[in-house]
Chains A and B, each alone.
Chain A
Amino acid sequence: EAQVTQNPRYLITVTGKKLTVTCSQNMNHEYMSWYRQDPGLGLRQIYYSMNVEVTDKGDVPEGYKVSRKEKRNFPLILESPSPNQTSLYFCASGRTNYNQPQHFGDGTRLSIL
């Protein structure tokens, strides 16, 4: 089954404790992206990657890091999480052509206390 898998689905942690949210896709997609969803703001793009070792900032990259060492994986790293990063996070993948839709994971709900 074609899917984008995120882990964990839920996480409660404390300010300053480094965390990683993993994302993996099995569709051989070149393009992967991270979004955060906040009430009234829709989805905002954090980082995206056009292919292995190629990443770029979205609209809200501050406080986040990403890496793309393998085509299928695109982890999101919060080196020193803060309460304003409490949000619902989605990973997505797609073909590189900009007229192609994205396939989304089921989301990771992060609470930073």
Chain B
Amino acid sequence: AQSVTQLGSHVSVSEGALVLLRCNYSSSVPPYLFWYVQYPNQGLQLLLKYTTGATLVKGINGFEAEFKKSETSFHLTKPSAHMSDAAEYFCAVSDINTGGFKTIFGAGTRLFVKA
């Protein structure tokens, strides 16, 4: 079965520093990959997605992620953290073995940004 692993339940960075949130998936075929962000008391919002084509994907708010098939990874990065980036981030995979209708989420990484 598909699984998604997010390394680090909490990540703390200083404002202006690089943000790196890690995501690894298990799949025998390239999956469809998503990053979502959740602000307090809100639902999830899409940051970016990888389906096919270019492996470096740009999303909203300056985030980007790179799909690396050989490493089964889809890490999320942002060059310079802003206080408003403090939130919980979820990596998700569409399970194409079930026609893509099942979605598997990682456990989430809470990002703290220090002034």
A-to-B contact residues, CB < 8 Å: 4, 31, 33, 35, 40-45, 48, 50, 56, 58-59, 90, 92, 96-99, 101-102, 104-107
Contact = CB atoms under 8 A, between A and B. Distances in A.
Contacts of A98: 32, 94, 96, 99-101
Contact of A101 (B4, B6, B49, B99): B49
Contacts, number: 65
Contacts of B43: 4, 90, 92, 104-107
Contacts of A105: 43
Contacts of A90: 43-44
A101 B94 CA distance: 9
Contacts of A97: 100
A102 B108 CA distance: 17
B90 A43 contact: yes
